[in-house]
Copies of this chain bind each other. A is one copy, B any other.
Amino acid sequence: MTEHARVPPDRLEAWALELLKAAGLPEDEAAEVARHLVFADLRGIDTHGTSRLKIYLTRLEAGVMAPTARIQVLRETPVSALLDGGNGFGHVISRRATDLAIEKARAQGVGLVGVRNSNHNGCMAYYTLLMAEAGLIGFACTNSVANMPPWGGRQMFFGTNPMSMAAPAGENPPFVYDMATSQVARGKIINAAREGRPIPEGWAMTREGLPTTDAQEAMKGFLLPMAGPKGSALAYAVEILAGVLTGALIGPELPRMYEQLDQPQQVGHFFMAFRPDLFRPQEEFARRMDETMAGVRAVEPVPGVDRVLVPGDLERMQEAERRRSGIPVPPGVRKEFHELSERYGVPLPAELR
């Protein structure tokens, strides 16, 4: 168990589905979560994929997450809605919010949907890509537990507060970015700590505000915002949209996912979709998107770089490779999978046994 096992995505998804059902999720909600986690694994976002199953199920067993998302619409206009997620899986709640934003955008041109009383909801790009596949420009963000000080400070306040935007093209797959507002996602430090690897300088500081390359020290300390004051302002902006606006808890109030198993996360999310044809015919927009992508890809690369990519290319290349070779499961995660498999009585795919 020292090498990364490889498992075909459909087999991993089928296992995750059965596991989630065994843990008490209804079929459709279990399917949505399993699909989302394997989407993340396929795209190389290992920190937001099936490696999170253990903590989700731990929180579910601790009674601080509901197996079924009893979603309520608290406020609604033709262009907007505020949802209470009923403390279900963030993936399920956010999928509902995304579908609602798409529906409103189709009918009114634009849809804004806020969510409170939710949980960790995976990859923002999952939601914005659904919007782009519906022909819309999409935006999504979420707040998260305090892991990063505001610029100039040495107490954690903001989460890594990721945000994503996607836009459809014509011949090409959509433009999509999905970024933490920290220099790196906390998940990368979690993984390094789990695997005993050091982290590069500039990712995080110790609790005392000193630079560190020790992942364990970084776990106790805090992340640094991307590009200093700019990333700090973007994290704050996400906090306003996902937390202040929705009535969710905000950064410093949010319980820690891995350490605090005695209270619900109560994170908030914000979704927005709008129709490009509010501004110009869809086919003109799509053609122009294609031209821009061709222009970017034709830029001469710096030495050592093969070719210049459009945001989203890297994840699609990763996905193609992993569809061929399977999703790699590192030893630490595989061990967790074994435990989960036994605990819930759901046999692992042969590749992971």
In the complex, A309 has a CB within 8 A of chain B: yes
Interface size on A, residues (CB 8 A): 70
A303 to B209 alpha-carbon distance, docked (Å): 9
A102 CB to closest chain B CB (Å) equals 15
Tell which of B112, B240, B247 touches A175, judged by Cβ atoms closer than 8 Å.
B240
Chain B's closest residue to A293 (CB) is: B236
A153 & B245 in contact (Cβ 8 Å cutoff): no
Cβ contact of A77, chosen from B109, B152, B175, B308, cutoff 8 A: B109
Q: Knowing A239-B292, A247-B280, A292-B239 touch, does A305 contact B233 (C-beta < 8 A)? A: no
The smallest beta-carbon distance between A239 and chain B, in angstroms, is 7
A279 and B114 in contact, given A152-B308, A244-B289, A289-B240 (Cβ under 8 angstroms):
yes
Closest to A240 in B: B167
Chain B residues with CB under 8 Å of A276's CB are 245
Q: Is A196 an interface residue (CB 8 A)?
A: no
Select A137's contact among B77, B229, B240, beta carbons within 8 Å. Answer: B240
Question: With an 8 A cutoff between CB atoms, is A299 at the interface?
Answer: yes
Residue A183 CB within 8 A of the other chain:
yes
A299 and B149 within 8 A (CB): yes
Hey, which chain B residues are within 8 Å of A284, CB to CB?
Answer: 247
Knowing A278-B75, A278-B80, A295-B252, say if A153 contacts B227 (CB, 8 Å): no
Report the separation of the CA atoms of residues A210 and B307 in the bound assembly, to the nearest whole angstrom: 18
Majority secondary structure of chain A interface residues (helix, strand, loop or mixed)? mixed
Docked Cα-Cα span, A167 to B236, in Å, equals 11
- 1/0 per residue, CB under 8 A from B, across A120-144: the answer is 0000000000000000010000000
A150 sits at the interface (CB 8 A): yes
Q: Please, which residues of chain B bring their CB within 8 A of the CB of A201?
A: none
Complex CA gap A151/B177 in Å reads: 13
Task: Give Cα A165 to B270, complex, Å.
Answer: 15
A79 touches B302 (CB 8 A): no
Q: Which among B245, B278, B300 is the interface contact of A279 at CB below 8 angstroms? A: B245
Q: In the complex, which residue of chain B has the Cβ closest to the Cβ of A275?
A: B80
A185 to B: closest C-beta gap in Å: 11
Q: Name A211-250 residues within 8 Å CB distance of B.
A: 226-227, 229-234, 236-237, 239-241, 243-247, 250
Other-chain contact of A233, B79, B110, B179 (Cβ < 8 Å): B179
* Nearest CB of B to A167, in Å: 5
- Asked whether B309 lies within 8 Å of A152 as measured between CB atoms, the reply is yes
Flag if B233 contacts A300 (CB, 8 Å). no
Within 8 A of B (CB), among A59-94: 75, 77-80, 82
Q: Is the Cβ of B240 less than 8 Å from the Cβ of A300?
A: no
Question: In the docked arrangement, what's the CA distance between A226 and B165, Å?
Answer: 17
Q: Give the CA-CA distance A12 to B110 in the complex, in Å.
A: 42
CB–CB B79/A278 < 8 A: yes
What 0/1 readout, one digit per residue, does chain A (142-164) give for beta carbons within 8 Å of chain B? 00000001111111010000000
Mark contacts of A15-28 with chain B using CB atoms, 8 A cut-off: 1 yes-contact digit, 0 otherwise. 00000000000000
Chain B residues closer than 8 Å to A301, beta-carbon distance = 152-154
